[in-house]
Amino acid sequence: MIDVKNVSHTYAVGTPFEKTALREISFSVSEGEFLAIAGHTGSGKSTLIQIIAGLINLQSGAVEVDGESVSVQTARRKIGIVFQYPEHQLFEETVAKDIAFGPKNFGLAEAEISKRVEEAMKFVGLELSLKDVSPFELSGGQKRRVAIAGILALKPKYLILDEPTAGLDPKARRNLLAEIKKLHRAGMTIIFVSHSMEDIANLASRVAVLAQGKILFDGEPRELFAQEKILDAAGLLPPPVTQLMLELNRAGLSVDAGAITLDEAEREILRQLK
Amino acid sequence: MISVKNLRHVYRTANGERLALDGINLEIADGEFLAVIGTNGSGKSTLAKHFNALLKPTAGKVYVDGLDTAAEENLWRVREKVGMVFQNPDNEIVAAIVEDDVAFGPENLGIAPEEIRRRVDLALETVGMTGYRNFSPSKLSGGQKQRIAIAGAVAMRTKIIVFDEPTAMLDPQGRREVLATIKKLHAQGLTAVLITHFMEEAAAAERVAVMAAGKILKVGVPREIFSDVAGMKRLGLDVPAAAELAERLRRRGFKLPEGILTAKELAAILKGK
């Protein structure tokens, strides 16, 4: 379990650029959970996940991973973080070397490293024949998979993904989301930062909404999409399907606007028309 | 007007050559709003870079108002006509104050200060950011930053702006702001080319070009392009939610007309059922 207790964070303290990013945030993530964190640019999402991953030192409050402070290395190593546009961090000559970089730094044995590299590649759907190819010659979607494989090779218990589908085309997006779902089913705890309400609707069982450094909402995605005031305050919009159903509603069709996936919307309209 | 004739582009890499554009033919009329969609690696961004001579054709020609983009002596005249806005506003903003950033391009053209002032004021007004003129760009949201980047392009007074996935990094509100800005500029006469992965945005254009594997597969009005739900999915693309839902209802035996694109249209038709 990850426990976030009363965490506040202010950048550039004592300068004219002082900016408070987080205000007394508390929540916890249970093992096996799929938590989405939503919020507009500047809402504090990135600061929050970096604090959870132990990448920013705590100013106040506490973050505990399985009961141990995240400032301790064993706790920190349980958490993997995939940044936005992670492919920008690729640097090695070959795909295999890039994925092996993290495990090597953990001091693992060669045999274990190459085993993990292969497992991670298989998991994200990269052909093993790509091992000796330069990562820079791959497509955008493939590069991103290499970057994610590099984190998976560290075998984190908790995986944080920051906007993992930004900039991907619809197919690459669907594939990547399916893989994240697979990781979750395999037992990994996922923290998924996104402003795509559609992705959140399709994946997460719980969503926390951040705005001005505070948690405005913590609950089921379905509940969130019904609360226009909160969405508005957080600068978010319901998924396109829900927007569509709301529009049908406004036009005088008595459909329940609570549908959050296309399947649900289809069923609801059929129910009304029959 | 941009006119692309049998354009091929080959990238040379350590492992040999990669064909990125394979025989592109396309005309973009003055005042048009064209969206270009396609999967990652389909050649969209490579094509965009040919419009203002950031790349030169390996074979074939690109003409901007009749100017051959491959001719060295045309370079600056082409770029006076075609501006670009990229995905990540943080990579485009250079100055510490919003209005200095917008003035950066015109200053480099050696334009008189009073004229720069006029252009900056008008550009900020157009993108709805006048109130932020003295802000530091670092204090702005993603959508606001991208609108500043657009203002920078507007201040250059180019007749064409190519937007290369300008909303990919933005939250939903920011995406709305940027799309509204592009629509407004188009209404004022700008020729807009919008490269995007968001089908709802492409649906706002007058024409949509669909790319795959370095080729343009089809060009048509959004209604026509997005009525082929199965074809778009096969290409790895999506269609707007209303189009997809309409298609699902058709499969269930409902007789709905072709070409439903927006929630309003779907609502009007379902109400009659």
Q: Looking at the complex, report in whole angstroms how far the Cα of residue B214 sits from the nearest Cα belonging to chain A.
A: 13
Q: Which residues of B touch chain A, with CB atoms under 8 Å apart?
A: 13-15, 18, 38-42, 87, 141-143, 165, 168-174, 176, 197, 199-200, 236-238, 240-242, 244-245, 248-249, 252, 254, 263-264, 266-268, 270-271, 273
- CB spacing of A41 vs B142 below 8 angstroms: yes
Q: Provide the mean pLDDT of chain B.
A: 92
- CB spacing of B168 vs A167 below 8 angstroms: yes
Q: What is the pLDDT along chain B (273 residues), one digit of tens a residue?
A: 999 999 999 998 777 788 999 999 999 999 999 999 998 889 999 999 999 999 999 999 999 999 999 999 999 999 999 999 998 888 878 888 999 999 999 998 889 999 999 999 999 999 989 999 999 988 888 888 999 999 999 999 999 999 999 998 888 888 888 999 999 999 999 999 999 999 989 999 999 999 999 999 999 999 999 989 999 999 989 899 999 999 999 999 888 898 899 888 898 888 877
d(CA B50, CA B8): 10
Contact status of A270 with chain B (Cβ, < 8 Å): yes
pLDDT bin (cut points 50, 70, 90) of residue A147 is very high
Percent of chain B residues past pLDDT 90, beyond the cut: 71
Q: Which residues of chain B neighbour A42 with C-beta distances below 8 Å?
A: 141-142
- pTM of structure: 0.83
- CB spacing of B237 vs A195 below 8 angstroms: no
Report the residue of chain A nearest B165, measured CA to CA.
A167
d(CA B255, CA B257): 7
Contact status of A129 with chain B (Cβ, < 8 Å): no
pLDDT per residue as tens digits for the range A63-120 = 999 999 999 999 999 999 999 888 888 989 999 999 999 999 999 999 999 999 999 9
ipTM over 0.95: no
Q: Which residues of chain A neighbour B236 with C-beta distances below 8 Å?
A: 169-172
Select from B173, B236, B248 the Cβ nearest to the Cβ of A40.
B173
pLDDT bin (cut points 50, 70, 90) of residue A167 is confident
Give the pLDDT confidence score for residue B160 in this predicted structure: 97
pLDDT per residue as tens digits for the range B106-158 = 998 889 999 999 999 999 999 989 999 999 988 888 888 999 999 999 999 99
Alpha carbon separation from A169 to A87, A174, B21, B52, B219 (Å, rounded): 15, 9, 18, 24, 19
